[in-house]
Amino acid sequence: MAPAAVVPLLRHLDPPTSPSRFLGNPLTRLIAVTLAFVGFAVLAAVDGGSALLRVDEPIERFVVTHRSAWLDEVFRRISFFGSTPVVLVGGLILAVVAWRRCRMVAALVVVATLARPLMEFTLKESVGRDRPTLAQLVNGEGHSFPSGHVLAAAALWAMVPVVLSLYTQSRRVWWGAAIGAVSAVALIGASRVYLGVHWASDVIAGTLAAALLLGGLDLGFRRLHERRHCGGAPLARPSVSR
């Protein structure tokens, strides 16, 4: 009897790479996020998003009322970390770092980075919601729904824990990076509302769109990576000869 072929152990497919174990079935979660996003998109598209404005406008007025010079500067700097140049350069750096350990993860980073602009453009043009006009502190380009900065930030910063898991199996380190990534995306979203270029519901929709993008990529990545090792070649399967 010949010995079984060795199958590489892909530790980064299991926690701590992802909290999937705590969030339920990935496909069910993806369907739920899709339905939630579609609901927001319909509300944003109908009658100029009047249903959402009942909540959005009071929030925006409150934010404008409580602005200050130092907060203006703080949120401008925070917003910068969700800008396209930062996301593109950061995605390139993460892909290079991941390539040393796992080409499949590097490919995941590249796809997330490049798919995000197309997804953002398609969603914005499909819904066509106008941006707030109440004292914008920076210029916003294109339509308002969903927040592109939030989608871009998630495509970059959510990849950090994934790449980090190639270099450490420490749950504390991974969870620290994951919490930091979520906090970064949340702050960038808040900055867009503060700066007056997005409604609060745009930010929520951007978060749902990011979850949709990353959830779909994660589902495909895991299924593909279960068949291929980190170099991209098919995994060897145990075989028995008689």
DSSP one-letter code for 7: P
Annotated catalytic residue 229: no
> How many C-beta neighbours within 10 Å does residue 83 have?
14
Of the residues 66, 198, 225, 229, only one is catalytic, namely 198
Alpha carbon 126 to chain centroid, angstroms = 20
Determine the Cα–Cα distance for residues 173 and 184; give it in Å rounded to an integer: 16
Report H helices in the chain: 20-23, 26-45, 50-65, 69-80, 84-99, 103-127, 148-157, 159-164, 171-194, 200-225
Backbone angles phi, psi at 234, to 5 degrees: -60, 145
Which one of the listed residues 12, 143, 149, 225 is annotated catalytic? 149
149 is catalytic: yes
Which amino acid type is present at position 162? V
75, amino acid identity: F
Contacts (Cβ under 8 Å, ≥6 apart) of 69: none
What residues contact 209, with CB distance under 8 A and at least 6 apart?
Answer: 37, 119, 120, 123, 146, 150, 151
**240, two tokens:** 């028995």
Residues belonging to the active site? 149, 198
